[in-house]
């Protein structure tokens, strides 16, 4: 009896150690992939395990009254020989003519060869000197003087063009102030970091009403995507220590608007406060903080297919056969999405194709997931992938209900990339207020990018106009309303 009990304990210990070995191997595999592996999440199935894509519509079907939408990939054009692109026509031309030394007197010109080379003049600072003569009236003795134009910083010595250049250099081109100071030194202009910080704070005070207008515009949307990313913030109570804050990002895909909202923590209080009056559909990853909104307001939720795919991609080393099958199913869904994007279909056509082709794939995949869930260990990578997908299943498949919905949160993750690049350059924010002001600038410039607006020209326009702009018309200065002057 005791031998049997000892054997049972030994077997239990063995199973425990084996489970730990599998877990540690998976962690090692993930670390190796992070350090040495490819960053792309693209899945390329092996030839032997490739799952065939769904059948294309039968071309012999009877024609309906409405035009049938064909589902087919565009054939790629044959690779053409590279051709040097013409230099931009709007750039000024500085012409120089080189006559041949061997030209004889009386030679007749029969043509010319033109070579265009792109050159660069380093940006130059200059001083705008505003002179306002004073006059005294000979009759009354009163003094008159021209009105000083409104400046972004009253009584300051930085113009709108310089302020715009400094902020675009930091938040778009990721040049911290200390690097910009070194660049200014090459022009023999010496600026202190405290001066640049002062200009930044004054600019933010001026732009705060515009940021609030952008926040209201995003909160009024019917469909939003949300995500969050960490930022290190200097802790004033602990010398040399930093606090981990979070930028919560809200993206409106249909109107191409983005808002970054800084919160000191990752708790649900951040999105709950921001979305307290939101009445649309929200798309997020599986983070549980968003569940408070479901309980409080019953907001319809969409999940992100890219996050589900990420779990199965990580499980390839643990269970290649199951992971490849799941990834193949996801690939079929993305093939359909890519084709519809290439065909530039509208939301009605997109919804129709999703119902006809994506829904059967999802239903087949769901049957497979249910069957595999009981055959894998819950704590294994493949078990975690299956459980994650099934737990969010109703949210994952909701995108097929509306052609305006997106299959994943990738667009919002793209808007967060500048934040990640900035972290590598300036490392941390100096305070919670500085982190929120950083969120303001990221919001403006991310919206510029989505609307293909030149960030420098937009900010120059805003800093020039906003001191005299009516507050009830402030929304006209937002990036998506900007019309570049000709």
Q: How confident is the model over 206-224, as pLDDT tens digits?
A: 999 999 999 999 999 999 9
What mean pLDDT is predicted for residues 391-408? 93
Residue 74 vs residue 442, higher pLDDT: 442
CB of 185 closer than 8 Å to CB of 149: no
- Weakest mean pLDDT among 84-93, 99-108, 435-444: 84-93
SS3 221: coil
Same domain membership, residue 386 and residue 317: yes
Assess whether pLDDT exceeds 70 at residue 49: no
Q: Is position 358 within any domain?
A: yes
Helices 359-373 & 320-343 angle (0-180, nearest 10): 170
Quote the pLDDT of residue 311.
92
Q: How far apart are CA 418 and CA 423, in angstroms?
A: 9
Beta-strand pair 281-283/134-136: unpaired
Average pLDDT rounded to a whole number, residues 467-485: 91
Residue at a domain's end among 346, 375, 407:
407
Same domain, 310 and 396: yes
Q: Are residues 362 and 444 in the same domain?
A: no
315 plus 398 within the same structural domain: yes
User: Same domain for 393 and 458?
Assistant: no
What domain count does the chain have? 2
Q: Are residues 393 and 450 in the same domain?
A: no
User: 395 and 455: one domain?
Assistant: no
Q: How far apart are the first and last CA of the chain?
A: 93
Structure tokens at 328: 């193949």
Give CA separation, 9 vs 2, 13, 16, 22, 222, in Å.
10, 6, 11, 20, 58
Q: Which of 314, 319, 461 is nearest to 377 (CA)?
A: 319
Do residues 400 and 327 both lie within one domain?
yes
pLDDT at position 250 is 94
- Residue 120 falls inside a structural domain: no
| Residue 135 to residue 144: CA distance in whole angstroms | 5
Whether residue 213 is found in the same domain as residue 161: yes
User: pLDDT class for 277, splitting at 50, 70, 90?
Assistant: confident
End-of-domain residue from the set 392, 407, 422? 407
Residue 326 counted as domain residue: yes
Judge whether 279 lies within some domain. Answer: no
Q: Is 399 inside any structural domain? A: yes
Q: What is the pLDDT of residue 51?
A: 42
Handedness of CA 294, 296, 300, 305 (dihedral sign): negative
Considering the domain architecture, whether residues 157 and 196 belong to the same structural domain is answered as yes
Does residue 325 fall inside a structural domain? yes
Name the region of 37 (left: φ>0; alpha: ψ -120 to 50; beta: rest): beta
**In 3D, which of 51, 48, 71 has the Cα closest to residue 61?**
71
Those residues whose C-beta lies under 8 Å from the C-beta of residue 197, and which sit 6 or more positions away, are 177
Q: What are phi and psi of 363, to 5 degrees?
A: -65, -40
Which residues form the domain of 343? 305-407
- Interior/surface letters 271-308, b for 16+ CB within 10 angstroms, e for the rest: beebbeebeebbbbbbeebbeebeeeeebebbbbbbbb
In Å, how far are 157, 160, 455 from 151, measured between CA atoms? Answer: 9, 7, 20
Same domain, 380 and 450: no
Residue 266 lies in a domain: no
* 130 occurs within a structural domain: no
pLDDT tens, 144-156? 998 888 889 888 8
What is the pLDDT confidence band of residue 397, given thresholds at 50, 70 and 90? Answer: very high
Worst-scoring range by mean pLDDT, 24-28, 405-409, 451-455? 24-28
Residue 349 and residue 440 share a domain: no
CA Rg, the chain, in Å?
30
Other Cβ atoms within 10 Å of 191 Cβ, number: 16
CA distances from 27 to 31, 326, 380, 429, 444 (A): 6, 21, 11, 32, 39
Task: Give every CB contact of residue 166 below 8 A, 6+ residues apart in sequence.
Answer: 177, 180, 196, 199, 200
Number of Cβ within a 10 Å radius of residue 442: 23
Domain-terminating residue out of 351, 372, 407 = 407
């Amino acid at each position: 009896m005791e031998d049997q009990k000892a054997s049972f304990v030994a077997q239990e210990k063995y199973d425990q150690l084996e489970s730990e070995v599998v877990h540690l191997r998976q962690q090692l595999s993930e670390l190796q992939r992070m350090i040495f592996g490819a960053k792309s999440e693209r899945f390329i199935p092996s030839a032997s395990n490739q799952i065939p894509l769904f059948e294309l519509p039968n071309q012999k079907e009877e024609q309906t009254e409405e035009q049938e939408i064909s589902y087919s990939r565009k054939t790629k054009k044959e690779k053409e020989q590279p051709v040097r692109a013409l230099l931009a026509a709007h750039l000024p031309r500085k012409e120089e003519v080189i006559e041949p030394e061997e030209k004889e007197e009386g030679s007749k010109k029969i043509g010319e060869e033109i070579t265009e080379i792109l050159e660069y003049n380093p940006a130059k600072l200059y001083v705008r000197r505003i002179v306002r003569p004073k006059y005294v009236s000979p009759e009354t003795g009163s003094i008159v003087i021209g009105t000083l134009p409104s400046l972004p910083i009253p009584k300051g010595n930085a113009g709108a063009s310089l302020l715009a250049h400094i902020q675009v250099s930091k938040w778009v081109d990721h040049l911290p102030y200390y690097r910009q100071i070194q660049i200014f030194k090459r022009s023999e202009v010496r600026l202190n970091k405290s001066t640049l910080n002062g200009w930044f704070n004054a600019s933010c005070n001026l732009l705060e009403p515009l940021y609030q207008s952008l926040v209201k515009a995003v909160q009024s949307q019917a469909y939003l995507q949300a995500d969050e990313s960490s930022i290190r913030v200097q802790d004033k109570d602990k010398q040399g220590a930093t606090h981990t804050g979070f930028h919560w990002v809200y993206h409106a895909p249909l109107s191409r608007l983005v808002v970054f909202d800084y919160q000191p923590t990752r708790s649900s209080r951040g999105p709950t406060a921001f979305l307290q009056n939101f009445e649309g559909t929200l798309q997020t990853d599986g983070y549980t903080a968003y569940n408070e909104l479901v309980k409080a307001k019953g907001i319809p939720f969409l999940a992100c297919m890219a996050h589900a795919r990420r779990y199965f991609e990580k499980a390839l080393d643990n269970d290649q056969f199951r992971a490849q099958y799941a990834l193949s199913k996801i690939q079929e869904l993305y093939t359909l999405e890519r084709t519809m994007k290439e065909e530039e279909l509208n939301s009605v056509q997109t919804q129709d194709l999703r119902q006809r082709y994506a829904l059967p794939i999802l239903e087949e995949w769901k049957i497979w997931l249910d069957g595999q869930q009981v055959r894998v260990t819950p704590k294994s990578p493949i078990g975690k992938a299956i459980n994650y997908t099934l737990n969010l299943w109703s949210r994952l498949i909701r995108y097929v209900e509306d052609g305006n919905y997106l299959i994943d949160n990738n667009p919002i993750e793209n808007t967060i990339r500048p934040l990640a690049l900035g972290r590598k350059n300036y490392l941390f924010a100096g305070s919670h207020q500085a982190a929120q002001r950083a969120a303001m600038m990221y919001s403006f410039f991310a919206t510029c990018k989505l609307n293909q607006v030149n960030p420098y020209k937009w900010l120059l326009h805003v800093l020039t106009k906003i001191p005299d702009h009516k507050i009830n018309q402030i929304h006209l200065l937002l990036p998506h309303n900007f019309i570049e002057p000709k």
